[in-house]
Chains A and B, each alone.
Chain A
Amino acid sequence: MRIVLAALVWIVLVGGLWTYVQHRDASYSTLVNRSAPELQKTETTYQLTVTPTFSLEKDPFALNLDERSGAQSLTIAINGQRLSLPDTLEQGQPYRIDQVEQVVYGYNELFLQASPPLDAANRDHAVRITLADDNQLILDRTLWSHKGSLVTGSIMFTIAHEESSHDH
């Protein structure tokens, strides 16, 4: 009789707990579907110029997940979209990208990450970035790194429909 009672108690407690666990998340099934506002690309195209204080070369500390991606030492993205870049840039030589089309009206973000060569790790390094359209300079910034670390940073800028702009 005692054993039967113990089994009944077990069934009630454990069964109740199991039922609760199975149904506790039911209230989350009706989450509101929120979509991001649509971004409108500008009609203007821009020119981006990048000038590093170091020569870019293959980065041994880049994550290499497949043969196609390789070990890139320079990454530039505007609003999350990566730009196509060469594998190497010469020290002090500006590299210009025409027809930058990723800029939108409103808030924009430019992200840059560059890896200085390891044998120059005892110096600080920098990359100068300018963005311009046919009429004016939109932004002109320099990102710095301390010894041994990446040159990395994000630059926010806005483009108004009236095409008056400033960077943050």
Chain B
Amino acid sequence: MKLSSVLSTFLLLLFIILQVPVLAGEKELPIVVASTTQIADFTRQIAGDSVQVVSILAPGADPHTYQPTPDDVQIVLGSALCIENGLHLEGKNWMATLAKDAAKPLVTATDGIQPLTIADDGETIADPHAWFSPKNVGVYVSNITRALIALHPQHTKEYTARASLYLQQLRVLDAWIREQVQRIPIQRRVLVTTHDAFNYFCTEFGFNADNNFLSIAPVGWSTGAEVGAGMTPERRRKVVASITASGAPAIFVETTINPKQIREIASETGVKIGGTLYSDSMGPEHSAGETYIGMMRENILTIVTALL
């Protein structure tokens, strides 16, 4: 048998096989685009297999400084819905711009949250890292559920049921965190990280009492160029002074930020690095922090182990 005949037959069979899903009436799932890995996780928990959820940011990427690529534009163009964190987490509002340019509906997951505000140089800025309080994630879940129901009203019952289950998981997470954290005496409950991402966490769970239960970090609320962002000499001095005065047993690096600055401060103050925390992004696939609950769980275990 000639090679060309064999090849022709093989290609024919392959072509037939590839037609089967189309003939079986399988339709492609609508795409929901999330700006961050956390929002993508919340959306998957609610939507199940009814949509394809795509996160613009990969695990470990920094939302404050991210610049969309042509591939991102194509993904958004093919989407049915876009979801952003909001509160300027997405530096220069890149997610809103992507959605607007593609004329796609955009949902802000933090709508309705009472944001913590940061005062800097006479300006008041809303802290965008709201997901660090599981109670706020309840608001994210409600907003995302509403958006999915508007997209697919026929799946209202499933979305509502999944959201209710996930909210109960968040409730248990919140209680578990409090149980773990209360093992650390208040005086030792000092959390120093690379950037100001943990204000909601500190306020909710009683860290940094001497700093009004706010983050202690050399880099501001954003790693980008916004007001109040970046590291300044004044901020660095304040962090070193806080570490020295509080006797903090450890400080922490973050997965999305270069650890150089925090390591220098650790060396200067004689404090150990307590571990790496997930902050602006969850972990990669198959890691312990690949979901929001996993991320918070691992962060708590790292913090409690280092500070006890």
On A, residues with C-beta under 8 Å from B are 2, 6, 9-10, 13-14, 17-18, 21, 60-65, 115, 118, 121-122, 147-150
What is the bound-complex CA distance between A27 and B251, given in angstroms?
67
The answer for the CA separation of A157 and B179 in the assembled complex, in Å, is 37
Q: Give A58 Cβ to nearest chain B Cβ, in Å.
A: 11
Q: In chain A, what residue has the closest Cβ to B15?
A: A10
Which residues in B have their C-beta under 8 angstroms from that of A60? 135, 138
Chain B 123-137 near chain A by CB (<8 Å), digits 1 or 0: 000000000001100
Which of B77-85, B161-169, B188-196, B224-232 lines the interface with chain A? Answer: B161-169
Complex contact B23–A121 (CB within 8 A)? no
Bound-complex Cα distance A106 to B135 (A) = 41
Map CB proximity to A onto B15-42 as digits: 1 under 8 Å, 0 otherwise: 1100110011100000000000000000
Contacting pair A13 B160 (CB below 8 A): no
Report the separation of the CA atoms of residues A63 and B19 in the bound assembly, to the nearest whole angstrom.
42
Instruction: Give the 5 A-B residue pairs with the shortest CB-CB distance, closest first.
Output: A148-B175, A121-B175, A60-B135, A61-B171, A64-B142
Q: How far apart sit A23 and B161, CA to CA, in the bound complex (Å)?
A: 34
Q: B residues touching A (Cβ–Cβ < 8 Å)?
A: 8, 12, 15-16, 19-20, 23-25, 134-135, 138-139, 141-142, 145-146, 149, 160, 163-164, 167-168, 170-172, 174-176, 178-179, 182
A102–B170 alpha-carbon span in the complex (Å): 33
Q: How many A-B residue pairs have CB under 8 A?
A: 75
Residue of B nearest to A120 (CB): B175
* Given known contacts A63-B164, A65-B149, A147 and B179 CB-to-CB distance under 8 angstroms: yes
Q: In the bound complex, what is the Cα–Cα distance between A33 and B20 (angstroms)? A: 33
Please determine whether A149 and B135 come into contact, CB atoms closer than 8 angstroms: no
Q: Separation in Å of the B130 CB from the closest CB of chain A?
A: 13
Contact for B145 among A9, A13, A65, A148, CB less than 8 A? A65
Say how far B153's CB is from chain A's closest CB, in angstroms: 12
**Nearest-CB residue, chain B, relative to A152:** B168
Name the distance in Å between B161's Cβ and chain A's nearest Cβ.
10
Q: Chain A residues near B146 (CB, 8 Å)?
A: 65
Q: Is the interface of A mostly helix, strand, loop or mixed?
A: loop
B12 adjacent to A148 (CB under 8 Å): no
Chain B residues whose CB sits within 8 angstroms of the CB of A64 once the complex forms: 138-139, 142
Among B19, B20, B174, the residue within 8 A (CB) of A118 is B174
A148–B163 CB distance below 8 A: no
Would you give the shortest CB distance from A154 to chain B, in whole angstroms?
16
- Which chain A residue shows the least CB distance to B143? A64
- Asked if B145 and A63 sit within 8 Å, CB to CB, the answer is yes
The reply to whether A21 and B168 form a contact with Cβ atoms under 8 Å apart is no
User: B168: which of A18, A61, A121 is its contact (CB, 8 Å)?
Assistant: A61
Q: Are A10's CB and B175's CB within 8 A?
A: no
Beyond A64-B142, A122-B175, whether A150 also contacts B168 by CB under 8 A is yes
Q: Nearest Cβ distance between residue B74 and chain A, in whole angstroms?
A: 30
Among residues of A, the one whose C-beta sits closest to the C-beta of B134 is A61
Contacts of A118 in B (CB 8 A): 135, 171, 174-175, 178
| Chain A residues near B168 (CB-CB < 8 A) | 61, 149-150
Residue in A10, A18, A63, A150 whose Cβ sees the most chain B Cβ within 10 Å: A63
Are B179 and A148 in contact, with the CB atoms below 8 A? yes
Residues of A within 8 A of B24 (CB): 21
Query: Is the beta-carbon distance between A21 and B23 smaller than 8 angstroms?
Result: yes
Alpha-carbon separation in the docked complex, A150 to B164 (Å): 12
Chain A CB count within 10 A is highest, among B24, B171, B178, B182, for: B171
The residue in chain A whose Cβ has the minimal distance to the Cβ of B176 is: A148
Q: How far is the CA of A9 from the CA of B8 in the complex (A)?
A: 12
Contact residues in B for A6 (Cβ distance below 8 Å): 8, 12
Instruction: Assess whether A14 is in contact with B19, with CB atoms less than 8 Å apart.
Output: yes
Per the bound structure, the CA–CA distance linking A6 and B171 in Å amounts to: 61
> In the complex, which residues of chain B have a beta carbon less than 8 angstroms from the beta carbon of A121?
174-175, 178-179
Distance (whole angstroms) from the CB of B139 to the closest CB of chain A: 8
A10 in contact with B171 (CB, 8 Å): no
The answer on a CB contact under 8 Å between B16 and A14 is yes
A115 CA to B138 CA in the complex, in Å?
A: 14
Q: By CB atoms of chain A within 10 A, which of B145, B167, B170 has the most?
A: B167
Indicate if the CB atoms of A61 and B182 lie closer than 8 Å. Answer: no
Distance of A126 Cα from B260 Cα, bound (Å)? 51
CB distance from B23 to the nearest CB of A (A): 5
A107 to chain B, nearest CB (A): 24
Residues of B within 8 A of A10 (CB): 12, 15-16
CB closest residue in chain B, given A60: B135
